[in-house]
Amino acid sequence: MEVPRVGHSVSSPTSPCEDMMKNLSLDAIQLCDREGNKSQDSGIAEMEELPVPQHIKISNITCDSFKICWDMDSRAKERITHYFIDLNKKENKNANKFKHKDVPTKLVAKAVPLPMTVRGHWFLSPRTEYTVAVQTASKQGDGDYAVSDWSEIVEFCTADYSTVHLTQLLEKAEAIAGRMLCFSVFYRNQHKEYFDHAREAQNNKMLPSVKDNSGSHGSPISGKLEGIFFSCNTEFNTGKPPQDSPYGRYRFQVPAEVLFNPGTNLYFADFYCMYTAYHYVILVLAPRGSPGDDFCKQRLPLLDIADNRFLTCVQDEDGRLTFRHAQDLILEVIYTDPVDLSLGTVAEISGHQLMSLSTVNAKKDPSCKTCNISVGR
């Protein structure tokens, strides 16, 4: 059940949040300041004790919503008109020493049957730890509130983007993908020491590693999926990989069909930018039935390898494979299995190492209208 909308009359005439609250028309809740206890809250009266919520339970957590319920003494239930829910990011609990007392941190909802849903991308972000506490309140005739003591504080963490949210990102990325260009190789740039280590300590193989936290904060692969990053973008005038790279002067290059073929599944994972005009799409290539494939099929939208706007592999009547990539996006392709260096070549590139273009742990621009959706960033 959604939290019902609270009318403008919720605010006390003496509340410091009154003007702000009158301008809110967001699903079901209004905001006010929590000063720490009932005697300090402006516009809140003290009278007969109201029941304190006990055994707070959080459930049905998504990237931008959760359900909350609790137990309480039923003897005074008929006097309860509202619930005050204090919600704070755990990481910022004591961090902001300059927080103005009128900054809204309390959700005010009419008393409804429990559990109730708290939803809002404007105050909930994915993959974020929060603390929550609850008061019961009774609105008085003069506009003040009688309130209970605060409940115990409980903690929870919001979830990653679901496939529904990722599909919204996918559709935004499709809108700017541009025409498709032919390519024939995947490539990976690193320092010489990386390839030396692969030869000497990893049996001549590049091994998957856990993806960093670059891209959307709600991405379900960040910090979880293991893979190897490859590129495939080409220069439109030469049809070949660029000679510059932000990741190192040595490049492993492998024929596209080694990693991408009818035995490979292709997944959309993310769409983001880093405060620049460039937009990035992260795709995952996973051999069918592999651990990486099992991970992705539960979390990411599956793409048709022969018919999508980002990266295609088309087989003709003779069995020959043709590969194309989107021109107007920078594709970051994660391959989920180890790759033997004997399958390709390693050589030094002639261009520059453009460190400013590195996406290692890059944070997504939360203000970009092109690559953000209406959930937490």
Banded pLDDT at 159 (limits 50, 70, 90): very high
For the stretch 202-233, pLDDT in tens is 999 999 999 998 889 899 999 999 999 999 99
- Answer whether residue 319 shows pLDDT above 60: yes
Task: Tell me if 108 sits within 8 A of 32, measured CB to CB.
Answer: yes
**Amino acid 79: pLDDT:** 87
Span 254-260, average pLDDT: 98
Using a 10 angstrom Cβ sphere, with 0-12 exposed, 13-18 middle and 19 or more buried, the burial of residue 176 is: middle
Which structural domains are found in the chain, ordered by start?
8-157 (2.60.40.10), 163-357 (no CATH)
Provide Rg for the chain, Cα atoms.
26
Query: For residue 169, what are the CA distances in angstroms to 36, 174, 370?
Result: 39, 9, 9
Tokens of 358: 């590195």
Banded pLDDT at 360 (limits 50, 70, 90): low
- Answer whether residue 168 shows pLDDT above 70: yes
- Answer whether residue 355 shows pLDDT above 70: no
**Amino acid 77: pLDDT:** 79
Question: Hey, which of 29-38, 125-134, 138-147, 321-330 has the most confident mean pLDDT?
Answer: 321-330
- Answer whether residue 291 shows pLDDT above 90: yes
pTM (two decimals):
0.78
Banded pLDDT at 12 (limits 50, 70, 90): very low
Provide the percentage of residues in the chain whose pLDDT is more than 70. 79
Q: How many CB atoms lie within 10 A of CB 10?
A: 23
**Integer distance in angstroms from the first to the last C-alpha of the chain?**
25
Point out the least confidently predicted range of 78-87, 234-243, 254-263, 301-310: 234-243
Task: Tell me if 107 sits within 8 A of 84, measured CB to CB.
Answer: yes
Span 191-203, average pLDDT: 96
For residues 321 and 314, give the distance between their C-alpha atoms in angstroms, rounded to a whole number: 5
For the stretch 56-91, pLDDT in tens is 999 999 998 999 999 988 777 788 999 999 998 886
**Amino acid 353: pLDDT:** 58
For the stretch 107-124, pLDDT in tens is 888 998 899 999 876 678
Residue 291 Cα to chain centre, angstroms: 22
* Paired residues of 46 in beta bridges: none
Point out the least confidently predicted range of 10-24, 203-217, 235-249, 282-296: 10-24
Task: Tell me if 272 sits within 8 A of 138, measured CB to CB.
Answer: no
Query: For residue 253, what are the CA distances in angstroms to 75, 264, 287, 350?
Result: 73, 19, 19, 14
* Paired residues of 139 in beta bridges: 145
100 or 238: which leads in pLDDT:
238
For residues 282 and 296, give the distance between their C-alpha atoms in angstroms, rounded to a whole number: 13
- Answer whether residue 43 shows pLDDT above 60: no
For residues 177 and 175, give the distance between their C-alpha atoms in angstroms, rounded to a whole number: 6
**Amino acid 32: pLDDT:** 47
Banded pLDDT at 125 (limits 50, 70, 90): confident
17 or 235: which leads in pLDDT:
235
Tokens of 329: 């996006």
Q: State how beta strands 330-335 and 321-326 pair.
A: unpaired
For residues 362 and 173, give the distance between their C-alpha atoms in angstroms, rounded to a whole number: 18
**Amino acid 244: pLDDT:** 80
